[in-house]
Amino acid sequence: MIQCIIIDDEPLALDILENYIQRLPNLNLIGRCENAIQANEIIQNHKVDLMFLDIQMPGLTGIEFLKALKNPPLVIFTTAHADFAVQGFELDAIDYLLKPISMERFLRAVNKATEKIHAQQPASEKKEEDEDFFFVKADKKLIRINYEDILYIEGLKDYVIIRLETGRVITLQTMKSLEDRLPEQTFRRVHRSYIVNITKITAVQGNAVELMENGKVKSMPIGKNYKDELIEKIKEKKW
């Protein structure tokens, strides 16, 4: 879970960003701040991975605040002014979002931050393979998903459908972010739009995998970039 804060002197901007954050399962909002002084107190007392930082604020600008931090978290600038873009990227900002910020643009920026945070993690922390479940945000609540209950996962643009033995869960995130959370021993990407629990596969025929869903055969395509690895994994018979 990425621990983040919002820093903006506009209440409406705070509300919009908080709403976006609450819709993403890998973000946890630990503070919304109206100025840099409030943000500094949170950073000194809590682990913060990511800041959504406005630039033009009274007292101390976002750029001045970022320069003052010894070990700053990752930052995504959020501003109504494009004039500071170059300066923002010179400070190694993940992204620079111009208001009004759409959910689609916000999600792209968060995905960049997620990839960077994931790349910086030790390999032992990237996947908690000793756990047999995880949680996702859906229907305004956190829902527990047991790995063994997953049949397959289908990607639909910015959403994914997690198909379970007993139904389905739709959550707002990318296939890549979910793939990174799943144990490699059990789950394989077989197509740009599908991740399969390989313990549920009943057959591989040509360029398709088959499994049983609600008593019927479900067939999914195998992308040419995934087939060789999938076949090798199946031959190993280690699940």
pLDDT tens digits for 75-104? 999 988 877 666 766 778 899 999 999 999
Based on the domain organization, do 62 and 161 belong to the same domain?
Answer: no
Based on the domain organization, do 17 and 53 belong to the same domain?
Answer: yes
Within 10 angstroms of residue 93's Cβ, the number of other Cβ atoms is 22
Determine the average pLDDT of the residues in 204-233: 89
Q: Which one of 75, 99, 125 terminates a domain?
A: 125
pLDDT tens digits for 26-40? 899 999 999 999 999
And the tokens for 145?
Answer: 């998903």
Based on the domain organization, do 137 and 190 belong to the same domain?
Answer: yes
Q: Contact 126/180 with Cβ under 8 angstroms?
A: yes
Statement: residue 219 has pLDDT above 90: yes
**Residue 223 belongs to domain with CATH number:** 2.40.50.1020
* The total number of structural domains that make up the chain: 2
pLDDT value at residue 234 = 78
Structural domain range at position 137:
133-236
And the tokens for 60?
Answer: 């101390």
Based on the domain organization, do 73 and 97 belong to the same domain?
Answer: yes
User: How does DSSP classify residue 199?
Assistant: G
Query: pTM of the prediction?
Result: 0.58
**Residue 41 belongs to domain with CATH number:** 3.40.50.2300
Based on the domain organization, do 147 and 185 belong to the same domain?
Answer: yes
Closest among 43, 68, 24, 51 to 158, alpha carbons compared: 24
pLDDT value at residue 194 = 95
